[in-house]
Structure 1
């Protein structure tokens, strides 16, 4: 019987590549080839290639500083009375910050930020908290129970 393609063994991997065991370099890099043909000079290679430092020049920093200086005022934070009202209403309902967060589909750290007065007030979040806690958190009478619809 003759030796056919079906009987031969095909080896896949480094050893099957032409040029020996594959342990050495395959050939010059694209950069080295371009340098050999004179397409680029030694000075053309980017010094900061592969890093994220090339575009952080002084212009960007100067512009960022100007932006910070021209800012009119930082956004207002939640009033301490609102944070206190949230905490008291939450504790009265025996809810943890995590429970309240789950109830209104917000993360527990959002609740913590509102209670500590670090959060920038968001009317949607305040509205959800008002409904969940049954307490007014906006306008006047902060901390008072939410009234139902007015009767005529």
Structure 2
């Protein structure tokens, strides 16, 4: 038989595996199959969160966050109601909406609403921007008093 008489097949399942058999036969059970055989995992354990953006499917993050909050000594302080009233009053006196004020200080209108309602956790940088935009004191003593200019010596 010459080289011209042999047939060469190119494509799938043409090479033999390590066992010498043809057709790409598997060598044995996979790790998943072995774990399933000994009862280490059940059918439902495989790829539960496949294709989702959930890192840990079996962990309840809301529950963990609640546990973390229970361990805190005190919840973070909120803006004092007097600060919220001072912001709302001076904003209305200047004829600004929450959206206008937010745009003026580069914050979302939602942030202004949270400060006015007293739900926000105070941020000194935001309070300073609000003080400059509204011209009233929002920190320290005399909340709501007009903001003085630079001190004269």
Q: Which runs of 5+ in 2 are unaligned?
A: 1-10, 12-23
CA contact (8 A) 1:48 1:54 kept: no
Deviations 1:73-104, CA, capped at 9 Å, x for gaps: 11000000000000000000000000000000
1:49 maps to which residue? Answer: 47
Shift of 1:64: 4.9
- Paired residue for 2:94? 93
Change (3 A) 1:64 1:84: closer
| 1:108 alignment partner in structure 2 | 109
**Which is further off, 98-107 or 41-50?**
41-50
Question: What corresponds to 2:130 in structure 1?
Answer: 129
TM-score, structure 2 length as denominator?
0.66
Change (3 A) 1:112 1:64: closer
- Higher RCO, Cα 8 Å, sep 6+: 1
Query: For structure 1, which segment, 83-92 or 36-45, has the greater mean C-alpha deviation from structure 2 after superposition?
Result: 36-45
Give TM-score scaled by structure 1 length: 0.67
What are the within-5 Å matches in structure 2 for residues 22-33 of structure 1? none
How far is 1:126 from its partner? 0.1
